[in-house]
């Protein structure tokens, strides 16, 4: 039973991530590599707020959202005139800098979460068991309820927002920015807002992840994670509502499907045995993603359930 809880919670986390990334990739038409860094901002802020000040889940995660929204300006303001490859590189720059902060803001001797040792460097921080409305998040059931709640709220917000004039503005910006500027729309402001919303939602997912995994380290913010997130969204499909959900389902299906391959001797939920020093499940999973990306670009560039051809 715990295994299914694990899958369901994992699904809610990644579906929330995919929904937020879809705003940037599907509606704004921008590839970003900084998304995992904003995810990690949510995780770290949650970890620090709940450990230092004993905050419960909602205020701590809310603080994470606020921090991520403010820091999203670091990506959106310098890059507001870039598209395509140049935007990709700007997001990469932001990712490198934020990951550098998680990696380097630490010192020996002081407790994790204090001002001189904010992130505890590469060794990561353990996260205090949190609670929401008096329910302890040690219970997988409560955590799952919270995850479903977050997913539904985020999905509702995105849905309303993207079917509003603001959503149409983003779609127009993606399709023909010059024309929109010619019409006198404030394109840059719209993009700043879209990135802020996406960063806020992904920070919420990051807080949920931290509450579930009870441990955060700089690997959460790594470039590989950003690429994985991008792959999930591109495989699921961009530019509409169901694509990211399909992407998250594919993520779970691929990962768990590989776990049950006959030549991998491992129980569910554990790391597979090691061949040649590498983790086989992780390698095969990423390989499957790579193959899927290549095949999809040839046969279905809009993703499995997508509408807009991002690529």
Partner 1 sequence: MSGVRRRVQSRCPGVRAPSPNSYRSGICNDGFVLFQPPHALFQQHFSRRGCHPPCISVVSARPYAIFQFLPSAPGRDTLSCDSLHRGPGRPGHAGCAPDADWVDMQGLQAILDGVIAGMPVALLALAFTIVYMPARVFFVALGGIYVAVPYITKAVADQTGWWALAVPAGLLCGSFIAALCELLNHRLLALRGASPGAHLVSSLGIYMVLVQAVALIWGNDTQVLRQGLDHVFPMGPLSLATSQVISMAVSCTTFILFWIWLRATTTGPKMRAMADNPRELAIRGFNIHRLRLLAFAFAGLLASGAALLTARDVGFDPNCGLPALLLAVVASIIGGRGSFAGPIVGGLILALARSATAWFLAAQWTEAATFALLVGILYVRPNGLFAARGRLEATA
Residues engaged in binding partner 1 (CB under 8 A): 31, 78, 81-86, 88-90, 92-93, 96-97, 100, 103-104, 106, 108, 120-124, 178, 209, 213, 215, 217, 219-220, 222-225, 227, 231, 234, 271, 275-280, 282-284, 286-287, 289-294, 297-298, 301, 309-311
Considering the complex, state which of residue 131 and residue 217 has its C-beta at the smaller distance from partner 1: 217
Considering the complex, state which of residue 131 and residue 221 has its C-beta at the smaller distance from partner 1: 221
162 Cβ contact list (under 8 Å, min separation 6):
23, 27, 170, 241
Considering the complex, state which of residue 61 and residue 131 has its C-beta at the smaller distance from partner 1: 61
CA–CA separation, 152 and 15 (whole Å): 10
Residue 217: CB minimum distance to partner 1, A: 7
Residue 250: CB minimum distance to partner 1, A: 14
Considering the complex, state which of residue 131 and residue 259 has its C-beta at the smaller distance from partner 1: 259
Residue 295: CB minimum distance to partner 1, A: 8
Considering the complex, state which of residue 54 and residue 84 has its C-beta at the smaller distance from partner 1: 84
Cβ burial of 204 (10 Å; 0-12, 13-18, 19+) is: buried
Q: Are 40 and 124 in contact (CB under 8 A)?
A: no
Residue 276: CB minimum distance to partner 1, A: 4
Residue 164: CB minimum distance to partner 1, A: 26
Q: Are 3 and 269 in contact (CB under 8 A)?
A: yes
Q: How far is CA 166 from CA 29, 91, 159, in A?
A: 15, 23, 11
Considering the complex, state which of residue 161 and residue 223 has its C-beta at the smaller distance from partner 1: 223
Quote the crossing angle between the two packed helices 280-299 and 242-259, to the nearest 10°.
140
Residue 215: CB minimum distance to partner 1, A: 8
33 Cβ contact list (under 8 Å, min separation 6):
88, 91, 92, 95, 223, 226, 227, 230
- Phi, psi dihedrals of residue 279, rounded to the nearest 5°: -85, 115
């Amino acid at each position: 039973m715990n295994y299914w809880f694990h899958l369901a919670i994992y699904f809610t986390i990644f579906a929330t991530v995919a929904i937020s990334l879809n705003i940037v990739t599907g509606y704004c038409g921008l590839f970003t590599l900084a998304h995992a860094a904003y995810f990690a901002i949510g995780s770290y802020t949650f970890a620090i707020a709940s450990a230092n000040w004993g905050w419960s889940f909602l205020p701590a995660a809310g603080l994470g959202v606020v921090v991520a929204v403010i820091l999203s300006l670091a990506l959106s303001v310098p890059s507001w005139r870039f598209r395509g490859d140049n935007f990709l590189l700007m997001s990469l720059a932001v990712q490198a800098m934020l990951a550098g902060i998680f990696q380097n803001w630490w010192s020996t001797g002081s407790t994790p979460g204090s001002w001189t040792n904010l992130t505890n460097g590469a060794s990561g921080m353990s996260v205090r068991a949190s609670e929401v409305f008096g329910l302890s998040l040690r219970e997988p059931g409560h955590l799952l309820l919270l995850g479903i709640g977050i997913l539904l709220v985020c999905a509702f917000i995105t849905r309303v927002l993207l079917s509003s004039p603001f959503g149409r503005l983003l779609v127009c910006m993606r399709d023909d920015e010059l024309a929109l500027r010619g019409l006198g729309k404030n394109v840059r402001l719209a993009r700043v807002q879209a990135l802020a919303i996406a960063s806020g939602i992904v920070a919420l997912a990051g807080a949920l992840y931290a509450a579930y995994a009870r441990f955060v380290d700089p690997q959460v913010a790594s470039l590989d994670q950003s690429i994985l997130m991008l792959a999930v969204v591109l495989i699921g499909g961009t530019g509409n509502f169901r694509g990211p959900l399909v992407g998250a389902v594919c993520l779970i299906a691929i990962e768990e499907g590989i776990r049950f391959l006959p030549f991998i001797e491992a129980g569910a939920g554990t790391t597979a045995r090691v061949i040649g020093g590498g983790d086989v499940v992780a390698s095969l999973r990423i390989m499957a993603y790579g193959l899927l990306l290549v095949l999809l670009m040839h046969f279905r560039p809009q993703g499995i359930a997508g509408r807009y051809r991002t690529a």
